[in-house]
Amino acid sequence: MPESSSSEAQAPSPIVQKIDESKQQLIQTRQERDQLNQEAKKWAEKRNEHHEQIKQLQNAVKSLREKRDETNLQVQILKTARENAKAQRKEKHEQIVKLRERMKPLSERKPRARLYDLEKRIQNLEWKIQTSSLSVQEEKPLVEQVKTLETQRLAHKQLQELKDKLLELQTETKAFETQAKLKHNELSQLANQSQEFHKQLVETLSKIKALRQNADKAQEKYLEFRRKADKAHEKYIEIQQRIRSLTEELHEKEEQQYAEKEQMLREEATAKAREKMKRGEKLTWDEFKLLTAEEETTEH
């Protein structure tokens, strides 16, 4: 029988057999682990579904409590708030009366010239004083004019500031009046709302209690399958490490066999080259390098 047929018929090495067996175990262990993980995932999804429902209901409970408590608080403070709004409206009205009294003399003294025209004249005079060569006598009347115009401009600005304040007070007065009306309208609706919020709150808390019981049962199942899956995964890692170790061992042996074969072929080629040299035949470059390498090795 030829040598190649004998080589093909050779049984796999013990290391290869161990690797194949370990790979089969790895596949089985992975399938077992994945099935357990899938079962654990199913129970986790049920648990999470219950928790999400609980979370939504808890948000509803929080909202109902806040609404109920806010409603009860508003019932107690709305009357006081309405009276406070009326009092503040009265106070703002009194401020308006006083402000108008302050504005009256300023309105009487208000210069006819517009503020823009006053500021333009002041700028022109100041520019003339700064850029012209004037004597003291010539400059003095110009400075007096500037002072007079500044006084008029100040009166303009003071009156405008008081008008702005008056508008602000009038706006605030109207706001307090509107606020008092709104507070009064809200009072009639709040009592019934508070009762309805409390009823919904009690019903929601009952639903949360039932969902928590179901979530706890799902959590117990999840932990059970999670522990089994973790053990299967540990076994899976062990088999992986065994395969890795066996594969490294196989590679080392194959590399050793390859190195031995290379050495044998090199020795055969060197012997042939030596024979050719003895016969005086021309050597190839590779054959020459082989003999040279052999001589260097011998010398060392």
Q: Is 10 inside a domain boundary?
A: no
pLDDT at 73: 82
Q: Is 290 inside a domain boundary?
A: yes
Q: Is 15 inside a domain boundary?
A: no
Give residue-wise pLDDT tens across range 241-269. Answer: 999 998 898 898 888 888 888 888 888 88
How far, in Å, CA of 47 to CA of 201, rounded?
24
Give residue-wise pLDDT tens across range 169-199. Answer: 888 888 888 888 888 788 778 878 888 998 9
Domain holding 123, by residue range, is 21-299
How far, in Å, CA of 71 to CA of 198, rounded?
11
* DSSP labels, the chain: --HHHHHHTSPPPHHHHHHHHHHHHHHHHHHHHHHHHHHHHHHHHHHHHHHHHHHHHHHHHHHHHHHHHHHHHHHHHHHHHHHHHHHHHHHHHHHHHHHHHHHHHHHHH--SS-HHHHHHHHHHHHHHHHHS---HHHHHHHHHHHHHHHHHHHHHHHHHHHHHHHHHHHHHHHHHHHHHHHHHHHHHHHHHHHHHHHHHHHHHHHHHHHHHHHHHHHHHHHHHHHHHHHHHHHHHHHHHHHHHHHHHHHHHHHHHHHHHHHHHHHHHHHHHHHHHHHTTPPPPHHHHHHHHHHHHHHH-
* DSSP labels, 234-250: HHHHHHHHHHHHHHHHH
Q: Is 90 inside a domain boundary?
A: yes
Query: How many CB atoms are located within 10 Å of the residue 13 CB?
Result: 12
Q: Is 229 inside a domain boundary?
A: yes
Q: Is 179 inside a domain boundary?
A: yes
How far, in Å, CA of 236 to CA of 26, rounded?
6
Q: Is 7 inside a domain boundary?
A: no
How far, in Å, CA of 215 to CA of 54, rounded?
9
How far, in Å, CA of 269 to CA of 263, rounded?
10
Q: Is 11 inside a domain boundary?
A: no
Tell if the pTM clears 0.85, that is, is over it.
Answer: no
pLDDT at 201: 93
Question: How many residues comprise the chain?
Answer: 300
Q: Mean pLDDT for each consecutive 10-residue tract of the chain (300 residues)?
A: 45 82 92 95 95 94 90 82 86 84 67 61 69 70 68 70 81 85 80 87 94 95 95 94 90 87 84 81 78 65
Number of folded domains that form the chain: 1
pLDDT at 16: 87
pLDDT at 212: 95
